[in-house]
Amino acid sequence: MGHGGTLDPLATGLLALLVGETTRATERLHTAPKVYDALVRFGTETATDDREGGTTRSAALPASASRIEAALAPLRGAILQVPPAYAAVKIDGRRAYSLARSGETVSLAAREVQVHRLEMTEWSPPDARLLIVCGSGTYVRSIARDLGRALGSAAHLAVLRRLAIGALDVADAIGIEALRAAGHDAAVARLRVMNDETLVLPRRYLDEAAGKIVAAGGRT
């Protein structure tokens, strides 16, 4: 068995599992667009860019929702993004997070990523809820960090839920304990063929109202 991209420990949502010969297509599945429901918390930046890291600095909250909306614009499209220090990116053969945990200073180069859609669905200070549709290699933690800095504030990722990987949707997923309880035959019955269509994100994730998508994906 293999998987189509792990989730950070704080995250919930869709994890694609590949079985048998389909595991050969793991790298192809990694390239599929992904959809996230993210909660960004303003006021503090952390070492890991999410709620699990220690606070590195604090700042005032953004003045208004309209200012947040304006700051989202430069984070859309093809952008240069610096991964979090605590990331799986390799530096001279070692994972960045391993270096950071050992106390070494981690300096990662910016790389181009694609953010197809980035919309705020709710502003309830200090939290902004975002719908994010992005390409492979995009770090939602970095979006949270960079949004805070762009606003002259500080921010980190507080909650994250993955709603889709290509054509695979969290609405069709099943929890691991429920899968175990259902038994072997039920698990086999849930298998689906992976093909080119599996990598194609349904158009509704780009066209449908962001609030509706987030509501349908379950709570973060």
Domain ranges in the chain are 2-216
Q: Judge: domain 2-216, CATH 3.60.20.10.
A: no
Q: How far apart are CA 97 and CA 39, in angstroms?
A: 22
Cβ proximity of 157 and 38 under 8 Å: yes
Exposed, middle or buried: residue 6 (CB in 10 Å: 0-12, 13-18, 19+)? exposed
125: Cβ contacts below 8 Å, ≥ 6 apart: 42, 61
Tokens 């993955």 correspond to 162
> pTM of the full predicted structure?
0.90
Q: Residue 44 half-sphere exposure, CB side, CA atoms within 13 Å?
A: 11
Q: Give the per-residue pLDDT at 132.
A: 98
Q: 10 Å Cβ neighbour count for 67? A: 13
Q: What would the 3-class secondary structure string for the chain be?
A: CEECCCCCCCCEECCCEECHHHHHHHHHHHCCCEEEEEEEEECEEECCCECCCCEEEECCCCCCHHHHHHHHHHHCEEEEECCCCCCCCEECCEEHHHHHHCCCCCCCCCEEEEEEEEEEEEEECCEEEEEEEECCCCCHHHHHHHHHHHCCCCEEEEEEEEEEECCEEHHHCCCHHHHHHHCHHHHHHCCCCCCHHHHCCCCHHHHCCHHHHHHHCCCC
Tokens standing for residue 209? 């109202």
* Positions of the chain with pLDDT under 70: 86-107, 219-220
Q: What is the pLDDT of residues 20-72, one digit of tens each?
A: 988 988 888 989 999 999 999 999 999 999 999 899 999 999 999 999 999 99
Q: How far apart are CA 159 and CA 164, in angstroms?
A: 16
Q: How far apart are CA 154 and CA 144, in angstroms?
A: 9
Catalytic residues: 8
Cβ proximity of 17 and 29 under 8 Å: no
